[in-house]
Structure 1
Amino acid sequence: MEDTVNKEGKYKYLEIGEGTPIIVLHGLMGGLSNFEGVASFFPDKGYKVIIPELPIYTQNILKTNVKAFAKYVKDFITYKKLDRVILLGNSLGGHIGLYHAKMYPEKMAGLIITGSSGLYESAMGDSYPRRGDYEYIRRKAEDVFYDPKIATKEIIDEVYEMANDRIKLIKTLTIAKSAIRHNMAKDLPKMHVPTCIIWGKNDKVTPPEVAKEFHDKLPNSSLYWIDNCGHAAMMEHPDEFNTIMYEWLQKAKLKT
């Protein structure tokens, strides 16, 4: 997918299809390729899939936080001259989507979160990397998935590279602290954007009780489970993930 990335000013993004816009927000360790299943499925169903590369490691340290990333998404939506969009976010991307829904509900038609931070952040604070310890990082990467084989050498190498890059490591820890600071528990009951929660039943990073709490606190939410699935459902079970999301979008009438 990388060869079709658009570069315009400060924005880098992938755009596929025509129709109702779905903007995809990747996680802290994630990238555009994590959503290949979504990008190949939804354009055939009348949706335009847009995956911006979030400036997780490129923004000024003072703008390396959940609130600033949510504003970046709002500015990107304005730049693309879009009206109301559907946001889909995994892990930190889900947290950014939630914060965007809090700050800019007028820009939102719907929200899908999977393995989202925003309520439970212990994994963000304590699982980050011991520099130079490849085996530790390999185990942590495998823990993200129910099937450890999905943590390919390429994925492990990316995390290892980040852990050994001093600036990236500082920014990762800054984001982890920001995620704790921007806990959404008190905000969720006041947020009425239609929300689809898709969760892996075997998620070790954000356990199933986190999904239940999101569902309990968000007044306009639906909760769906995927069996034998860890923290990145859209990677581990792309077909089931897409089916759940598509059926929810139809039910919620989120299509122009």
Structure 2
Amino acid sequence: MSIQVVLLPGLLCDDAVWVDQREALSRIADCHVPDYGMRRSIADMVDHVLASVDASTLLVAGHSMGGRVALEIARRAPDRVAALALLDTGYEARDAGEAGAKEQAARFALLDTARAKGMRAMGEAWTPGMVHPSRLASEVYESILKMIERSTPEKFEAQIRALLDRPDATPVLAEIRCPTVLVCGTEDRWSPLSRHEEMQARMREATLHAIETCGHMSTMERPEAVTGILVEWAERAVRA
């Protein structure tokens, strides 16, 4: 049986978001961090990810937007997914009412900033709420800004459109049969802990880990804690 760990990055993230976890998990199985390129829907991202891995058994972990990709992979290829990890993410579609319109306007306002002033300037406006306040002047925060700066407004627009049209994964949660871990920073203001508690309540085999003193970027903010959880998760799946 061939096994591969798939580490799915979130909005404007690249393999830097998984550096610590990838190093540790690669001792257990081959690791793959996909690049979504210019794909403009969650479905297209899933097609790309599934086409890029050839192992018969997948251990799938997704952070933020990557968690939504992971849920769709679990729906589309349940026989291949032996374990699932969802970090700082969500499961519902965009609200159809005023809240949804507000989300769309806020996302496109950031895109306008990226086009007018560059990705770094957009990141400086966007990212303060993504980390724990104690990390605003840290090397981790600078690493996040540099990661955003490596991307482009065109890629940002493609991923915004994918998120705005995201599918409702509520029915998927009840269908998942593989062991699942949920991970969330206790100070995550983008995908709060309460949302992960809702997800856990809808799932059969999910364990929730709350990471203290941590915002949305848990894999980078508290790498040792997150890596420990994911190593145990992967080792258990490989032994099964």
The interval holding the TM-score normalised by the smaller chain is: 0.7 to 0.9
Q: What's the CA shift string for 1:160-201, capped at 9, x where partnerless?
A: 6757x3x3343233112122xx02113311222221111111
Q: 1:28 deviation in Å?
A: 1.5
* Percentage identity across paired residues of the two chains: 15
**2:165 maps to 1:178:** yes
Residue type of the partner of 1:238?
Answer: P
Distance 2:232 2:160 in 1: 37
Query: Counterpart in 1 of 2:48?
Result: 72
Q: What is the aligned counterpart of 1:104 among 65, 77, 81?
A: 77
Q: CA RMSD in A?
A: 2.5
Contact 1:85–1:107 (CA under 8 A) maintained in structure 2:
yes
Higher relative contact order (CA 8 A, sep 6+): 2
**2:124 maps to 1:138:** yes
Contact 2:9–2:65 (CA under 8 A) maintained in structure 1:
yes
Distance 1:155 1:111 in 2: 25
Contact 2:24–2:231 (CA under 8 A) maintained in structure 1:
no
TM-score relative to the length of structure 1: 0.77
Q: 5+ residue gaps in structure 2?
A: 95-99
Contact 2:83–2:237 (CA under 8 A) maintained in structure 1:
no
The alignment of Structure 1 onto Structure 2 pairs a total of residues equal to 222
Residue type of the partner of 2:25?
Answer: F
Q: Whose helix fraction is larger, Structure 1's or Structure 2's?
A: 2
1:20-99 matches, within 5 Å, as 20-44=3-27, 46-55=28-37, 57=38, 59=39, 64-77=40-53, 80=54, 82-99=55-72
Q: What is the aligned counterpart of 2:91 among 104, 118, 121?
A: 118
SS state of the match for residue 116, structure 1? coil
Query: Counterpart in 1 of 2:219?
Result: 234
Contact 2:59–2:234 (CA under 8 A) maintained in structure 1:
no
Contact 1:90–1:116 (CA under 8 A) maintained in structure 2:
yes
